[in-house]
Amino acid sequence: MRRWITAFTVLALGGTATAAAPALAVAAAPAAAVTQCPTGWGSLPEGNMAMGSQPLTDVRTGAHPCYDRMVLDVPGTSPAVPAGYQVRYVDTLVQDGSGKTVPVGGGAIIEVVVVAPSNSPETGLPTYPGRAGQPLPGVNLAGYRAFVDTRFASSFEGHTQIGLGVRARLPFRVFQLDNRLVIDVAHTWTGAR
C-alpha cells in the first residue's frame, strides 16, 4: 500500500511538473497584439441642439489604429452640459453668411458646425486663429488614413463652421468630453485595420 502511495505521489508530482513546464513556456512567449476596431458607426448626420457655449479655442487631430480623430476645444462644455453641434456629409462646403463655396480636398466632405464662436463675444478678439478658406492652423494630416484636408469656413452668428475632407464616405461618431467635442472617422466600414 505504501508503494502505491509513493508511486502515486511521484506520478502526481511528475505530472504537475510536466504540466507546469508547457505553461511556463507559453507564458514566456509574447502574445501578438490584436486591435479590435469599433464597428456600428454610421454616416448619417449627428447633432445636438444645445444652446451656445464659450468660444472655440483650438482644433486638434490625431491618428489612431482604427480611426482618425478631430477634437474641438470648447471650454465649459461636458457630457452634462454639451456643446451644440451638427456634423454631416455634404456635397460641397458652403460658407455660412456669405454663401461662398469653400473647396475641400478628399473623396467626401464632412461639415462640422459647433455652437461656439471663434472670437470672444466680449472683446471681439479671436480665440481661434482660423481664416476663411484656409487649412486649420497647426493641423498636419501627413500619415492619416481617413483625413485628407481641413478648412476653416466661417465663424458666423455664434457658430463656427469647419470642412473636414476624408478619403471616402466613411462611418463616424461624435461625442462630448469635458471641454472637448470629439469626432472620430473610421478607416473602414468593416472595422478591419
pLDDT of residue 19: 44
Low-confidence ranges of the chain (pLDDT < 70): 1-34, 193
Write down the pTM of the prediction. 0.81
Q: Give the domain CATH number at 135.
A: 2.60.40.3500
130 and 91, same structural domain? yes
For residue 133 the three cell numbers come to: 478658406
Structural domain for 124, as ranges: 46-186
SS3 of 161, please? strand
- What is the spatial distance between Cα 106 and Cα 172, in angstroms, rounded to a whole number? 16
Is the CA virtual torsion 162, 110, 65, 182 positive or negative?
positive
Q: Say how far apart CA 128 and CA 119 lie, in whole Å.
A: 7
192 falls within a domain:
no
Q: What is the pLDDT of residue 97?
A: 85
Residue 80 sits in the same domain as residue 150:
yes
Q: What is the pLDDT of residue 50?
A: 87
Domain-located, residue 193: no
Domain count, the chain: 2
CA neighbours within 13 Å on the CB side: how many for 151? 22
- Whether 41 is in a domain gets the answer no
pLDDT of residue 2: 47
**52, 90: one domain:** yes
